Every structure is written in structure tokens, then in C-alpha cells.
Structure 1
Amino acid sequence: MAGEFSRTSRIGDQLQKELASLIQFEVKDPRLGMVTINEVRVAKDLGYADVYYTVLGLDDNAERLAENQAALESAKNFLRSRLAKEVKLRVMPHLRFHYDASVVNGARMSALIDEAVRKDQKQDSNEE
């Protein structure tokens, strides 16, 4: 059981590195911004690979995020064929792209926590 997990994890790491390089240097879609591949989760049967990405500077622009999603969707067959040449697997997983909002949510929550701490410190200094 642990062997399967570590193998899919290693495959996911390799796919992440290769995808990042391919998207940066080989995909020539003008809709595509500065895409960062955060994680690739590969199914145990290697049927699918869920690719989680963020786009630099477009966290709050839903229209541009949709354009990036469409660009990645249109390039996924090209990316899969190029991955098959770079990564030696018997079966290359089908790619599914998902926008990863966890980075944006984490930054927003961190800002809220910092604001709450500042308010507490200000209130404590006013009480003294």
C-alpha cells in the first residue's frame, strides 16, 4: 500500500516539473499568463492526473482566470503527448486542470489574522 502511494507521489512530482517547463517554454497561447503548477495528484491507476495551478497577479480577476483555464484545457492534449515523450510510463494519465485558490485564501486569512492582532494590541495599549 505504501509503495503505491510513494510511486504515484513520485510520478506526480515528475509530472509537476515537466508540466511547469512545458507550459513556460512550449505553450504559445496568448491567453495564458504566468502559470505556476502547485501540485499534481495522480490517481492510483494512473488514469488521471489532477493538476493544481495558480496564475501570478490574477487572483481576483475571474475573467482572466477563465481564459487561463480555457487555454490550459485546449493545450492539455499537446501537453499529455509531450509528457509521454519526456516521462517514461506505460500509460500517461489524462490531465485535469484545477485553479488552486488555497494560496489566495491563505494570504487573505493571514491578512485577517494580522489585522486582528493589530486591533488587539491597539486595544491593549489603550486600556493601560
Structure 2
Amino acid sequence: MSNNRPSRVGELMKQELSDIISRKIKDPRIGFVTVTDVQVTGDLQQAKVYITVLGDEEQKQNTLLALAKANGFIRSEIGHRIRLRKTPEISFEFDESIEYGNRIETLLEQLKKNSET
């Protein structure tokens, strides 16, 4: 039963983080951000938040810097919204799985075209 708790907390944090980032943070450096996943450790002390950002590499880096700067505010908002003894430390990372999937799809299309000719 304890194995399910980190995943439940992660899903709840994912919903709340999406709301906080889109509605509460007014930093112009933060572009169109989607929270794709939240991985919480078993002891609920750390949370790794995976995000995707629409834009070029510079916009992605600016968004990551702005989120790192707003980390204290985000953590306090999560603490108010989710009833936990201790709010997890939050770290943001880019979700590379979408780009990886697109790359695989492109390679498969190229192989299909080459096999047809």
C-alpha cells in the first residue's frame, strides 16, 4: 500500500503544479509549459518534475531559470494545497521522451521510404 502513495502524491502534485504555473506565476520568461510527469521519492522528500516547453532552446532555458527562481513560491503553494507533513523539494527537468519519440518516428518513416524504392 505504501508503494502507491508516492504515485498518488505525484499525480496530485502534477495537477496542482500545472495550475500554479499557468495561473499564479506572472514571470514573462515562462512560456507555454506543460507538466508531463512528477516522480516523488518513496519518503516523499523530493519530487522531480518533468516539463515540456513550446519554443526554441533559449526559451526553454529561460523558462527553466524562471521556474528555478520561483521554486520557493511554488513549493509554498504546493504546501498550502496538499496536506503533507513536509513539502517535497522540487526540481524541474525537461521531458525528452516526446522529442525521442518524434526522432524514432522520423527514422521509421525514412526506413519505410528507403525500403519502398
| Separation in 2, partners of 1:36, 1:64 | 14
Q: Secondary structure at the match of 2:43?
A: coil
Instruction: Structure 1: give runs of 5+ residues left out of the alignment.
Output: 124-128
Deviation per CA, 1:74-126: give whole Å up to 9, x if none: 111101101111111111101000011111111121111112112212x2xxx
The corresponding residue for 1:34 is 32
TM-score normalised by length of structure 2: 0.95
| Separation in 1, partners of 2:53, 2:72 | 20
Deviation per CA, 1:9-37: give whole Å up to 9, x if none: 00000000000011000110100011000
The corresponding residue for 1:72 is 67
1:16-27 residue pairs with structure 2 within 5 A?
16-27=14-25
Question: What is the alpha-carbon root mean square deviation over aligned residues?
Answer: 1.0
Instruction: Structure 2: give runs of 5+ residues left out of the alignment.
Output: none
How far off its partner does 1:4 sit?
2.1
Q: Which amino acid aligns with 1:53?
A: I
| Separation in 1, partners of 2:2, 2:93 | 24
Q: Secondary structure at the match of 2:106?
A: helix
Aligned residue-pair number: 117
Percent sequence identity over aligned pairs: 34
| Pair 1:108 & 2:103 matched | yes
The corresponding residue for 1:83 is 78
Q: Which runs of 4+ in 1 moved over 6 A?
A: none
TM-score normalised by length of structure 1: 0.87
Q: Which amino acid aligns with 2:115?
A: D
How far off its partner does 1:54 sit?
0.4
